[in-house]
Amino acid sequence: MDVRVVESLVMAEIGDGVLTALYPVEHCARWEFGPWAPLMGWFKQRPGLTRMLGVAQVAGALAVAATLSKTPGRAWKK
């Protein structure tokens, strides 16, 4: 997969994780619709857990970013 695609996904995950960590109830409420509404409601009722998962999401995304290739092309060199 191209490094720019993976980096774009990593940036989205970092942003989502930051919003989740800073505003867990509000962020979950904004996504409380469709088939995942019950799950978002469950997370909304548990802001501490939701905040912790947001921080973990940012850490995971940063870990992926640290492993990416430094040049355009394949995300990971063999």
Query: In the prediction, which pLDDT does 77 show?
Result: 82
- Share the mean pLDDT of the chain: 95
* Average pLDDT over every residue of 60-74: 94
pLDDT tens-digit series, residues 43-66 = 999 999 999 999 999 999 999 999
8-state DSSP, 49: H
SS3 content of the chain, % helix, strand, coil (to 5): 75, 5, 20
In terms of Cα–Cα distance, which of 76, 64, 75, 72 is closest to 10?
A: 64
Evaluate if pTM is beyond 0.75: yes
pLDDT tens-digit series, residues 16-42 = 999 999 999 999 999 999 999 999 999
